[in-house]
Structure 1
Amino acid sequence: MTFPDGTGGGPPPADDPPTTRLKPIGPDTRPPGEPAYGTYGGPAPGAYGTAGGTADGTGTDTGTGTGTGTGTGFPAPPGGGARPRRRGLRTALLLVAAVLAGALGGVTYGYHEQAGEPPTPLPPLNQPGLAHPRKPLPADEVPEPLSAAQDRRVKTDGDLRELLVSRPDGTTDAELGYGGEGWLAPYEVAADSGAADGLLGFMLEHGLRRTAFTSWQEEGATTTSVVMVHLFQFRNDATAGSVDYLEAQQTYSSIGVDGRVRSVPLEGSANGRAYFPDTPFEEAGLPPLYQAIALARRGDIVVEIYWIDGAPVEEKDLTRLAERQLERL
């Protein structure tokens, strides 16, 4: 059996090596859009004429003409019919390369020029000539120091005990073991707390500067009340110790045995509050003791007032005392 392209069918001879049966396929020269022809098992190139025509190119009205191998078919394409290469992408790449080369060259040239310049000397660190004024001012031209209304430290850097609220008439010194008024060392402040080591470390770490206090007691008809006022002054340099201490004390005072403790704000202070626990402190052999606390801050000073009484503390009494202390600061 022989195919139209001249190749024979059937299995090849056994002694025929496989490579001798491979026939190279020439380039495809058919017009665009036409089906493949001249492949294995198909008609020979040029076997078909035009659509509906015979092999010799003449048309029929049936459109079923077949070729016999003598038809002319389509003419061969003209020589040199390769598609022209697109230059747009190549031009863009060349432009990008030129821009990058220009930028790199500019940076290199600038660095080379700067490296060749002598180093610019830096000004000396010590410049006494910048002091102002160069000469002391005459005595009549020296400005007045700031007043306490303009600089709060003018008042708070003095004797802190003078800023303590005055005790009410008819009261006596409270029996606290260290007097009724004066200075307190940090360890004395921490000694009365339930966690002396923790409170002492906290105050020293947050820059406690000094503590002034006053206290008094008042004998009532049925009970005795004790009031203690503390002014804690912090350095507020490396850390805002007064802010941290106030927040810690307010958090501790706002939680009681029965949950949240009732509190009211203090007038004249953006962050001051007074706390009134409902549950009294009870100990064997002693009557129940009620406690109220006022906490506020003015600059680097924290105000801390404890009011202990055998009856529930009146809200107006504690808030009025705390507001008086804030006014003195």
Structure 2
Amino acid sequence: DTASGTKQAKFTVQQSGEKSFGLYPLWHILISPTILEVTLPQGSSGISIDGKALALPAGKSTIALLPLAHQVQINATRVIASQTVPLDAFFTTGQTLSYQPTLTAAGLDKAKAAVRAAFDQCALRTSPNLDSDGCPQTIGFSLAGSGRWQLVGDPTQDVVVSFDKNMNAVATGHLQMVYSYQVSGGGGVQHLPASGGYSASLALAADAVIVASIQPAKGLPALARPDGASDQAAKDLVAAAFKRCAAVRAQIVADCPQALLSVATNVRWVLVGDPLLGSTVSFDQDSGQLTVRGNFVMTVSYSFFGYPKKESSFNTIYVAYLFWNGQSLQLVTITGSD
């Protein structure tokens, strides 16, 4: 009988040079050990087998065991939680210890703090596209010059720490960041959204967690739309933004959808009608980003080399981008197209 029920096995026997009663040869049963392969993550504290501690290093190790049932315990640290794995090695030649490490509550707190600190460092960068340079944020297209990054909300609000087959620790979650830069021609500061999944490579120690790098990630669990991120809340922010856009006396207006394709001075914009009529609101479960899409009408009066002129905005379609910052919706920008 074994821990998992009754089993049968074939034994190898070997005749010895001894005899019983001077006539009958003695036979010995040969028992071959089971070779157990154990892979431990960084920062681990070895294992215990049937109560006997073994100081194994991180990475792969092999252990010879009697081919019987055993209890293998992953020893605890302040970061890695203890767990016991039953092992039935009854007359098997080799096995791999199958388990998934978990972090302690203190270890998870340290991992979250490390991820936040890494994002704070990424926010200090000035390039618009960092997704191949140890940080995950990107605006998704080429843009000359430099700017500033701002983190929106908590990137660890949905963080999950797991271990791959080589026991490398990885933290996954979702980010929301805003890139801002000065628009040429005195049009103000333009903001661009960057959001999506991320994967942070973690280096574990007995009492610490460090982030080695963060990369964009796809295929993560879908995000749930926050209760406070309603269609009406999004539309109210966009409506207020349109009024501000129409009040700016400039040809180029940052974060606003209108466009004037002419040499112009003394520019005056006028919003015509309600740009929220017929608009639609959508929520992206992969990035957490909300968008409001619709049509708008703006007229513009201006001076063209001293001559008064009046026409409509070249752009008539808009897309507004919004983030949830943990407490409320935040409008990032409104873009326009014809």
Q: TM-score, normalized by length of structure 1?
A: 0.21
Q: TM-score, normalized by length of structure 2?
A: 0.21
Structure possessing the higher radius of gyration over alpha carbons: 1
**Which has a greater percent of strand?**
2
Higher relative contact order (CA closer than 8 Å, sequence separation 6+): 2
**Which has a greater percent of helix?**
1
